[in-house]
Structure 1
Amino acid sequence: MAEAASEGATPPHHGLPDEIFIWEILVRLPPKSLLRCRAVCRAWRSATSARGFLLAHHARQPTLPLVYVRNRDFNDGVFPYGHDGNNASLDIIPVDHRAAADHLRSVARLDQASDFYRLEGSCDGLLVLSLDDDTHFVICNPATLIAGSKDDCYVLSLGSGQPPRNIGPEQTHKLISDTRSVLFRGRLYWYRVQEKVKNNMIIVFDITAESFRQMHVPVRGCTGDDLFEMDGMLGMSSFRDTWTIIDIWVLQDYESEVWTIKCKIELPLMEIRAWCRKDDELCELVVVPGDGELLVLIKFAEWLFQVGMDGKLVATFHRKGVRPTQFQLKQTLVQHDFFPTLEGYVVNNFPFI
């Protein structure tokens, strides 16, 4: 009877060899789709749970810029998720220019978040969010919505199994709450705007030595504040007085702190204003690295525009309340061992919807 059942069963992949189906098809799926595929059969669940497969799957995921949307009123018909008008949420959304605007989907949605949570960082497939007064942080893997929280400021060695190390709140709280950072070659970099002095600096935190130092910016009184990695070098954007041209600088000589201009991006402002039928100033602009090139995200009115290094529009999205960030997400299902070491470790629980 067992043989008859086996012979009559139809393979879920219609006879394709498992080797091809697993390593050529399943490895290319988005994380959520892959998790659903594990319910098809035990062989798929076993193969797609192996660390080697998960690393290969992570390597094939696109690196996408992140935006967020604060939803203060669910009765406006934009995000009707069954909540009443007294609640609010925060949606974190990866922007893929290959998808239609109405197909953009959030990877994490936080309940009652509009007055409390902010997206502070993204690294190794994880998101870092701050709570209220910047003394409480939530770290989550949006692919699985496993999250942990900690008070104060800590250094987390991902994958080491070691507990977080407290580095003290005084300087890090000020940096995290005021500026944006980038991780490059084992160091965190913040561009700190000092309004009372014109000699702005970049603050560097060495995550191994756990020490701070300062670096010079490419131009005295630089008006840009986006730091990023470009072609294996630290990069920074700088705006002209007219806000129509972005200069892209790279740190050519790290030891001597010598910056050179990599390229200039002329923004299509007239085209953007014509598209929105408004002549207002730009609301918000960030420069983020994409897969192999830089991208410029521009918020104008209720629109989000994605501009390439050649100054041409790549994509347009109409979404009420959308805000660009400098962060990127490359989703992963690889397990991070430090989650169970964190106080407040939860799976699919508040504050995530």
Structure 2
Amino acid sequence: PHYSRTSSQPAAMAEAATAAATPLLPGLLDDVFIWEILVRLDPKSLLRCRAVRRAWRRATSTRRFLLAHHARQPAFPIADGDQLVLGVHLHDILAFDLRAAAKAHLHTVARLDQDFYLEASCDGLLVLSTFAKGGSGCCISICNPVTREHASLAGPPWDFTAFGMYLHRPTGEYRLLLQRGSNRDSPEEQIDCYVFPLGSDQPPRYIGWPDMESVVFNLPIQLRDNLHWYPYYHLSESEQLQSEGKPVIVFDTVAESFRQMHAPIVPTKSYLFEMDDTIGIYCNDGDKNTVSIWVLQNYESEVWDLKYRIRLPVEEIRGQFEGCNDYRDVNLWDVDVVSGDGGVLLLVSFGRWVLHIDTDGKLIDSFYSGLLGLRIYECRLKQSLVQHAFFPALEGYVVNASPFI
């Protein structure tokens, strides 16, 4: 028999009405299930839930939900390192989960088929760089480790380097902060700075340079719509340990301008880190046996407090690892400070090992990473499933393909 198009409409409408009336999870209000349960899941668990029922996928795919889900995610310290598997070089990007309930502290969030340098982290997105073929300039790319999206900036290898990424709230654009050297008006090299909106077909826009001598920027710490750096200078090792009152460099991401913030008198080689709703500065003494930590108590008045001075359990560490393959690297350890569980922890890394040390100087945990050249960064990764319109506009945009493995 022949059925007209109009005769099928009531059936379709009835099916849609039935689906709308069916709860996402029997016995629980949809709002409670979505906004109290699903929104709290980690990205991997949420993706599994999406595969269970089509209605769950619809409910968790809206931009409103994805933004709320991202806001609920913890911000993990980031690390990276390399390994060889059956002769194949792999580059791992990792997150430290320092919560007490975590079964495994170190999670691989992305495995890549080539070496990258981490340049910035913003809203679940990572800015990566690698040397261009032939060694001329560098190639800058953006990736989302959760959605496995990756794209490069268009054009030939730049003489630019990226040293920040931010959401420009007045326009809603994600923008890169770029730098390159210049000999403009001075015998000393100046730093020229540019802004580049992701997805734009225009060249980077020149915005001037910070009022400072030539410096090296670590990864920025973002707070209150500002990017912060404690830069270090091209100095000898002895000069880096001298205490000076160098300022924190601040970039206002709304006005897109630089200013300076008062900092405590610390060795030139010191580092910023993110701590809850404020920032801290830490430094080591000459033999790396003592770590001093300052915390910014008042952002507006730029008041700092020496919060901790931690003596590392040097003899305990040497005694515990004597005889292991990485013992020769014990004296070459790096110390990083991260916030967790309302306080701070020290991460001491050497060889392929990472140690956790508390503010009393007690060794509380250690684990074997299995990675070569492990680097721990002061910035954080807050994972996100949010889709961004700029990605398809970038060169070589791929999903779930190389460089991801």
1:314: Cα distance to partner? 4.2
In structure 1, the residue matched to 2:188 is none
8 A contact 1:252–1:260 mirrored in 2: yes
User: Root-mean-square deviation (CA), in Å?
Assistant: 3.5
1:185 and 2:224 equivalent? yes
SS in 1 for 2:331: coil
Task: State the distance in 1 between where 2:216 and 2:287 align.
Answer: 28
In structure 2, the residue matched to 1:288 is 338
In structure 2, the residue matched to 1:106 is 108
CA gap 1:123/1:141 in 2 versus in 1, 3 angstroms: same
Give the TM-score normalised by structure 1.
0.78
Q: For 1:229, which of 274, 280, 284 is the aligned residue? A: 274
Task: State the distance in 2 between where 1:175 and 1:139 align.
Answer: 27
Task: State the distance in 1 between where 2:375 and 2:176 align.
Answer: 32
From the two aligned structures, give the one with the greater strand fraction. Answer: 2
1:203 and 2:202 equivalent? no
1:70: Cα distance to partner? 0.9
Task: State the distance in 2 between where 1:12 and 1:318 align.
Answer: 46
8 A contact 1:298–1:324 mirrored in 2: no
Which runs of structure 2 are paired with 1:259-278 in the superposition (5 Å)?
A: 259-277=304-322, 278=327
Task: State the distance in 2 between where 1:74 and 1:231 align.
Answer: 37
1:245 and 2:290 equivalent? yes
Where in structure 1 are there 5+ consecutive unaligned residues?
4-10, 76-84
Q: Compare CA radii of gyration and give the structure with the larger one.
A: 2
Q: Partner amino acid for 1:96?
A: D
Q: Partner amino acid for 2:139?
A: H
SS in 1 for 2:108: coil
Give the TM-score normalised by structure 2.
0.69
SS in 2 for 1:271: helix
Task: State the distance in 1 between where 2:46 and 2:275 align.
Answer: 31
Deviation readout 1:219-278 (Å, 9 max, x if unpaired):
25344x221233533320122344333221133455665432123333233332233224
Where in structure 2 are there 5+ consecutive unaligned residues?
1-13, 15-21, 182-190, 195-212
In structure 2, the residue matched to 1:92 is 93
In structure 2, the residue matched to 1:130 is 129
Q: Partner amino acid for 2:95?
A: P
Task: State the distance in 1 between where 2:261 and 2:177 align.
Answer: 24
Higher relative contact order, chain-length normalized (CA < 8 Å, sep 6+): 1
Task: State the distance in 1 between where 2:281 and 2:368 align.
Answer: 28
CA gap 1:162/1:299 in 2 versus in 1, 3 angstroms: closer
1:345: Cα distance to partner? 2.9
Task: State the distance in 2 between where 1:14 and 1:206 align.
Answer: 45
1:90: Cα distance to partner? 0.9
Task: State the distance in 2 between where 1:175 and 1:59 align.
Answer: 37
Q: Please, which moves more after superposition, 184-193 or 295-304?
A: 184-193
8 A contact 1:265–1:310 mirrored in 2: yes
CA gap 1:156/1:346 in 2 versus in 1, 3 angstroms: farther
Count, aligned residues: 330
Task: State the distance in 2 between where 1:303 and 1:61 align.
Answer: 27
In structure 1, the residue matched to 2:206 is none
Task: State the distance in 1 between where 2:37 and 2:317 align.
Answer: 39
Q: For 1:147, which of 135, 139, 150 is the aligned residue? A: 150
